[in-house]
Amino acid sequence: MIVLERVVLASASPRRLELLRSLGLEVDVRPSGYDEPDDPLATPLELAIRHAAAKARDVRDFHRDVLVVAADTVVDLDGQALNKPKDAHDAARMLRALSGRGHQVHTAFALALPGRDELLERASSTRVRFFELEEREITDYVATGEPMDKAGAYGIQGRAASLVEAIEGDFYTVMGFPLARFVRTLRQSGFALPTAKKSP
């Protein structure tokens, strides 16, 4: 097994950075320039996998000697992908659609391993159900600004925790990075995590 000390994160997400650092990894942040185009013919899960892979390929071209990690999260409401809201109005629209209903959150990640051409692609899905939301709840939450950079217009690790009635599956998938599946994928690929945590 090779001890993995350092990875490149192809994302500006502070949540993914925090989660990777929690594993004791040194993380270099190199956001991808990929713009995540919509595709009405693709399922939300397919979109998440496609976007994660495209981000990994984009950044790998500049970092061939280190493992590159990319991820993408898509909220799936009845087969319709809810990505990041365009503005406050769009965020409120999404939250109204999610109110009192169940939906799925798909997070895919792609790994570009040093010396290997093919990416490793994995995905995890978790079911989330919202309480019935009052209009004031939606307005107040949107006013915090928290929904604006998050798929489906909410972050379960933040104030939106109060909107969630139930969750079935992996919490970290909803947060934006399925840690357990990532660690197991590393082990299957011959990598081990550092035994001691590094300071952020």
Radius of gyration for the alpha carbons in the chain, expressed in angstroms and rounded: 17
Q: Are 128 and 106 in contact (CB under 8 A)?
A: no
Q: Is 72 a catalytic residue?
A: yes
Query: Can you give 138-196 as a three-state secondary structure string?
Result: HHHHHHCCHHHHCHHHCCCCCHHHHHEEEEECCHHHHHCCCHHHHHHHHHHCCEECCCC
**Active-site residue among 72, 87, 140, 149?**
72
Active site residues: 72
